[in-house]
Amino acid sequence: LTELVLVSHVINPCHFYIRRYSQKKEAFALQMKLENFCCSKSSYLSPSDILELGARTFIKSAETGMWCRGTITELIPVESKSRRKQPCGPIRYKVCDVALLQVFLIDFGSSVVLIFSGCGPTERPDPATLQTIETHDICLFVRKPDEHIEAELAAIPPLAVQCSLKDVVPKNEDEGWGEEAKAKFLEMVNNKVVSMMVFRKEDGVLIVDLRKPPFNEVSSNTPLSLKDALVFLDLARFKLQLPKQLENCTISQYSPPNIPQEGEEVFVVVCHINSPSDFYLRLRESVESLALPDKIQEIYKQENGKNLEIFYPVEGQACIAKQADGNWYRAQIIGLPSCREVLVKYVDYGNIANLSHKDIRRVEQEFLSFPEKAIRCRLACIEPFKGAHEWNREAKERFEEMTEDKLMLCSVIEILDNNILSIELFNASADNGKKLSINCQLVEEDLASYIPGYTERTEVKPNEIWDDPLEEISKTSEAFIPIDMKSVDEGDFRSLCNKELHGRISHVVSPSKIFVQLLASESILKSLQEEMASIYKESQPQSVKWEREMHCAVYVHDVEQWQRGQICRIVSETSAEVLLYDSGAEKTVEVSCLRKLEENMKTIKTLAIECSLTEIRDYHLFYVRPTGGSTQWTATVCECLSYYLTGAQVKIVIQENHVGGGALPVKILCKDETGKMTDTSEYLIEQGLALRNRRFGYFSFIFSVSDVPI
């Protein structure tokens, strides 16, 4: 039998009282009748009225101010006020002769003790008593029922039902139940509707377990089993043995991570490494996901986070767990190694930790809606060097060195059991546009071997991220193939309005200033980089007086490449700020990294196209603009957009003919973490990060919005 109840009073885990939730209407009606009767002067006691042990009476609670039904359980007269002995038979005293009165509240399970002042010192009641009241006037707190009200209330049985938790005893039976066990019991059930499972009835006492109700799966810290929680907290033990795993109990869980399909290639970050055959990575995240860690800290670092404690952890249960850095992260309980300890896995990173139960919290519903981020992987086609049973320390450290804090390109070779990905990882920032395989590099350095039967490839270069082959790119995009140093002519764009072009985001300043490299020009870019590498690789610093707007070759340390650039300003005698016009990025570099640009390299147009996000509604063109009435994009918007788009392969749709200089108005379509095509402009607007701004004039209108983030 299972029913919903409220715990009304606790003496210890094997002696407590509940009230049935189904009787709340009867309880309300009873309260109204008691209030009406006790407010009548005819119910007042007089000094000569008789109080009798075991008789019914009405008493006022000092805590709630409510009148309650009760049974007199102890009477101590004035002449024996210092002795509290249980009477051997019926005892009757006049009100004026009573020094102490104890009443058991039959609808709550607690007791109230009245001590009448002026009667001399009296022993204090037992600690289990809820209330002790000292008064000089008994009429303020006690009423004597008459025959009429007794008959009227006889149809309402006592609402408090005595219960005991099934099969638990104090941790130390010689010492009995401690105050900590009672306090923790109350913390888990006080003022909460809980589910009570009744196993049997012994001597009028229900043998039960209290559990989290089915309609309150997440937002309550009530455990799945109260008796199991007390045992886990080392406040109780089972009489015989540990119970079997809870049956038919729903625990909160995260949804599994969104994994790429076989043959798909995606940008990733390696987030935790056990070995090259067991590590975790994360896909490029959405703007909304980036805000998740800050939201978690905001809630769980507050003091009221203690209200989210988990008293009885269960394997597989979702939680929020503390990390060694003091921050809180999403996690899953994967083991219970000992009393008051839990083993958790951080689901967005892949690492595990052994924690005290005090370092885990119940997960709020809003954080359950995001799937796990960490995807378990292994490097395909390789194994420990020369068939060793496990990876050596050098291989693990080298793998960490090659992937730490770097954006990698992941090619999914196979999806194994339990959704473990067998992958090939590539360094996306390699020289000359080549993608270096981490798998092959470990083999070349004698840190790994190919698995038996695998044929080594001489060159490894992944396919493009988009499934569409290059041949399907519109032939009209050939108009973008550069031929000289000037910006792309506006005539190149007129025939391409409203057509999809494939490109890669090379640099993001703000939604109003995004640089795109077309896939159709990738071969040009690759040839250019190879030629520059061959010319400038062995070159020495030149004695040149560099000036603003001079064209140059720039060595970019971040990617270890020579790139074309133009000097924006001279910062000092030893440094200059340059525009890398094949990517759109601006960098400050040492003048020792500059060389004169060969004349034949000036005949090629810039390979990065400056674009600005727009949106079309009702045949009108709208530019996106900052929220809050500002004319500047916030750093949050710019940083999130840069993280989300930089390096991504996208489709751009030109919204109107290009008029004059400046950014090209476009829509940018890219895949989100689920693989769905997303309009970047619409997404920013939906997230409240941008607003629509209708264009009334020519292209210069958009430049009233500053590209400098706040």
Question: Alpha-carbon distance 188 to 184, whole Å?
Answer: 6
Domains belonging to the chain, first-starting first, are 286-372 (2.30.30.140), 470-518+607-704 (2.40.50.90), 521-603 (2.30.30.140)
The whole-number mean pLDDT for each consecutive block of 10 residues of the chain, a chain of 710 residues, reads: 91 93 91 90 84 90 87 82 48 84 91 77 52 81 89 90 91 83 89 90 91 68 82 79 46 89 88 94 70 85 70 86 91 83 92 90 88 94 89 94 86 91 82 71 92 58 37 35 39 67 89 88 85 90 90 89 92 91 91 91 86 61 57 77 84 71 82 76 77 46 33
pLDDT value of residue 208: 93
Single out the residue of 654, 667, 657, 638 nearest to residue 699, CA to CA: 657
Do residues 327 and 320 make contact, with C-beta atoms less than 8 angstroms apart?
no
Integer angstrom CA distances of residue 216 from 307, 311, 626: 15, 16, 41
pLDDT value of residue 61: 85
Question: Alpha-carbon distance 162 to 13, whole Å?
Answer: 11
DSSP-assigned letter for residue 475: G
Do residues 621 and 656 make contact, with C-beta atoms less than 8 angstroms apart?
yes
Do residues 218 and 254 make contact, with C-beta atoms less than 8 angstroms apart?
no
Single out the residue of 75, 30, 74, 55 nearest to residue 146, CA to CA: 55
Question: Alpha-carbon distance 313 to 229, whole Å?
Answer: 8
pLDDT value of residue 124: 55
Which parts of 607-697 fold into alpha helices (H)? 635-645, 680-686
Give, rounded to a whole angstrom, the gap between the first and last alpha carbons of the chain: 62
Bridge partners (DSSP) of residue 196 are 3, 210
pLDDT value of residue 217: 53
Identify residue 583 by its one-letter amino acid code: S
Do residues 562 and 532 make contact, with C-beta atoms less than 8 angstroms apart?
yes
Do residues 146 and 43 make contact, with C-beta atoms less than 8 angstroms apart?
yes
What string of DSSP letters covers 134-191? Answer: EES-GGGTEE---HHHHHHHTTS--S-EEEEETTEEESSTTT---HHHHHHHHHHHTT
Single out the residue of 540, 266, 652 nearest to residue 424, CA to CA: 266
Do residues 225 and 192 make contact, with C-beta atoms less than 8 angstroms apart?
no
pLDDT value of residue 624: 63
Question: Alpha-carbon distance 52 to 121, whole Å?
Answer: 23
List for the chain the helix, strand, coil content (%; round to 5): 25, 35, 40
Do residues 236 and 181 make contact, with C-beta atoms less than 8 angstroms apart?
yes
Single out the residue of 65, 70, 174, 55 nearest to residue 129, CA to CA: 70
Q: What is the pTM of this model?
A: 0.45
Bridge partners (DSSP) of residue 332 are 318, 345
Question: In the chain, how many H helices and how many E strands?
Answer: 13, 41
Which parts of 363-490 fold into alpha helices (H)? 365-368, 393-403, 438-444
Integer angstrom CA distances of residue 307 from 55, 217, 362: 42, 15, 9
Identify residue 362 by its one-letter amino acid code: R
Q: Which H or E run includes 535?
A: helix 522-536
